[in-house]
Amino acid sequence: MPLAIASTIAFCLWIVLWALGISGFDGLLVSTLIVLIVGGVRALGQYLPGASRRRGPGRANAPQGGW
């Protein structure tokens, strides 16, 4: 979800920058940078200390803990 939000915001920013007279390519580079940063943080965030471990595939509805 954060990547979809970042993509939408970056696309809107690109249109605004283009409307203000900044080159369309420069605005596209800024938008691409935003999306890459959010994607990188999202991908590498699971390896940061204190990040909760995700459950493996197929365990989305499994209860945590025991009886």
Residue 65 confidence (pLDDT) above 80: no
Task: Dump the DSSP string for 15-61.
Answer: HHHHHTT--HHHHHHHHHHHHHHHHHHHHHGGGSTTPPPPPPTT-TT
What is the average per-residue pLDDT within 33-62?
A: 76
pLDDT mean across residues, the chain: 82
**Cα of 15 vs its chain's centroid, Å:** 19
pLDDT at 1: 80
Please state the pTM of the whole predicted model: 0.64
Lowest-pLDDT range, 12-16, 17-21, 59-63? 59-63
Residue 55 confidence (pLDDT) above 60: no
CA 56, CA 24: separation in Å to the nearest integer?
42
